[in-house]
Amino acid sequence: MGAPTEICPMTLIQEPPVMTEPPVPPDAARVVSARSARFAARVFNYGNIVAMIVPVPLGILWLGASMLVYALNRHNPNPRVGHYTQQAAYRLYGVMGFIIVVATFFGTNVTYWLITWAISALVLIPWSIIDLRRINNEDWQDTLLEEEKS
């Protein structure tokens, strides 16, 4: 038979496909939709409600995650998102600060912890629901993002 043919390993290497975004016209404006802004404004209040309904472990986890949500939404291009986020954060951190100061003296007495949880839930849940109703009733508009000057 004939001599075996050699395959050059370099012929098997293919160039990866180049992924590019379509060019954006220089005069095209970027927009934050009203729907996106409304959702961002609601997130902190939803977290507060869930954290009060299931305080262990979600309340503890929400205390940490809320800082990330606050950082992401407080400086949203739509100022109303920042306002609602800030108000919900004030309520959460005020209640949690109260719990930390008062609970220092509780020890392992479950009764005190349950009373504190009930009071916290009575403060946070109704205010969060009121805020959610305000957010839903507000007329949200798309927000145009300004171009950065460099």
Spatial separation of the C-alpha atoms in residues 72 and 144, rounded to whole Å = 18
Averaged pLDDT, groups of 10, the chain, 150 residues long: 60 63 64 94 97 93 96 94 97 95 90 94 97 97 80
Q: Which distant-in-sequence residues (6+ apart) come within 8 Å of 88 by Cβ?
A: 44, 45, 48, 128, 131
**46-83 confidence digits (pLDDT tens):** 999 999 999 999 999 999 999 999 999 999 999 999 99
Q: Enter the tokens of residue 15.
A: 């160039």
Q: Enter the tokens of residue 107.
A: 């020890």
The model's pTM: 0.77
